[in-house]
Structure 1
Amino acid sequence: MFKLIIHKLFSAFMAILVLFSTVSFTVEKHFCGDVLIDSAVFSEAQKCKMEAFEIEQTKITKVHCCKDELEVVKGQDKLKRSQFEDITFEQQIFVVSYLYTYINSIEELSKLVIPHLHYSPPDLIDDIQVLDAVFLI
């Protein structure tokens, strides 16, 4: 029982580990000057209130005070998936011969033989229990 619970917990942990190691996401940050205004992981970062004023100012001065940064965190994109053709010829022969001997080592269960299958009991002429007055009490 304890082994089964540990096995299931370990399997769930490994599945979650594979899931999180392959997920990619983007962190978006919005700075106004050198001050971080907002950062967002799965959505767009909120812009500061100075954004509308800055658009007008950049037409005049050509200098931006606000900036957006995108930081991409890439997950693992190459998982090793082995195919039968990837292993060497000797390993293929070993696997095929092992499977062949394993499958042929299992014997089929013989059909259950009932020796009295077609036997019909003799006809009863008299009921012996009533005749001898032997009853179970």
Structure 2
Amino acid sequence: MALLVLFSTVSFTVEKHYCGDVLVDAAIFTDVEKCAMEAFEMLQKKTCCKDEIDVVKGQDELKFSSFEDLDLDQQQFLQAFIDSYIGRFESLPKHTIPHKDYSPPNLIADIQLLDQVFII
């Protein structure tokens, strides 16, 4: 959504240089390169070259609407929609773990091996 707003508000120009009816150069963000005939025509005061500039104008005003600008039905629907989803994102209750700080005793010997008790 942010990219849509950004691209709709950007303005830029497209410059084109023609020598006769042939497109010599086109540029969007830089100046167009002139052909060699341009310097020669300055001396003769006769031009066969022309420059075209197309301005693509972006949107100047953005419409900001508020909650009060909506109809009563739209306000009620939006409020009911928000209220129905707010309760879904509550955190889980905090569980207490009674043996969190308990460390088991050190095993000195394996009792099952000493008593020769094996689970088969």
**TM-score, L = length of structure 1:** 0.46
Tell me by how many angstroms 1:97 deviates. 9.2
- Out of 70, 73, 81, the residue aligned to residue 56 of structure 2 is 73
Name the structure 2 match of 1:10.
none
Closer, same or farther in 2 for the Cα pair 1:43/1:80, shift >3 Å?
same
How many Å separate the matches in 2 of 1:42 and 1:50?
Answer: 24
- SS of alignment partner, residue 50 of structure 1: helix
SS of alignment partner, residue 69 of structure 1:
strand
Higher helix share: 1
Q: What is the DSSP-based 3-state SS (H/G/I as helix, E as strand, rest coil) of the residue aligned with 1:64?
A: coil
| Structure 2 residue 22 is matched with structure 1 residue 35 | yes
User: Is 1:51 the equivalent of 2:38?
Assistant: yes
Q: Tell me what 1:116 maps to.
A: none
C-alpha deviation, 1:64, in angstroms: 1.8
CA RMSD across the alignment: 4.1
Q: Give the superposition deviation at 1:79.
A: 4.1
User: What letter is aligned with 2:29?
Assistant: F
Q: What's the counterpart of residue 111 of structure 1? A: none
Q: TM-score, normalised by structure 2?
A: 0.52
Change (3 A) 1:36 1:94: closer
- Measured after TM superposition, the shift of residue 40 of structure 1 is 0.5
Distance across 1 between alignment mates of 2:47 and 2:55:
23
Separation in 1 of the partners of 2:15 and 2:81? 54
Instruction: Point out 4+ residue stretches in structure 1 off by more than 6 angstroms.
Output: 93-100
Q: Distance in 1 between matches of 2:70 and 2:18?
A: 53
2:33 partner letter = Q
TM-fit CA distance, 1:26: 1.3
Q: Which amino acid aligns with 2:48?
A: C
**% identical equivalent positions:** 55
The size of the alignment, in residue pairs, is 100
1:83 maps to which of 49, 66, 72:
66
- Give the unaligned 5+ runs of structure 2: 87-120
Aligned AA for 2:11? S
Q: Kindly provide the amino acid, as one letter, of the partner of residue 71 in structure 1.
A: D
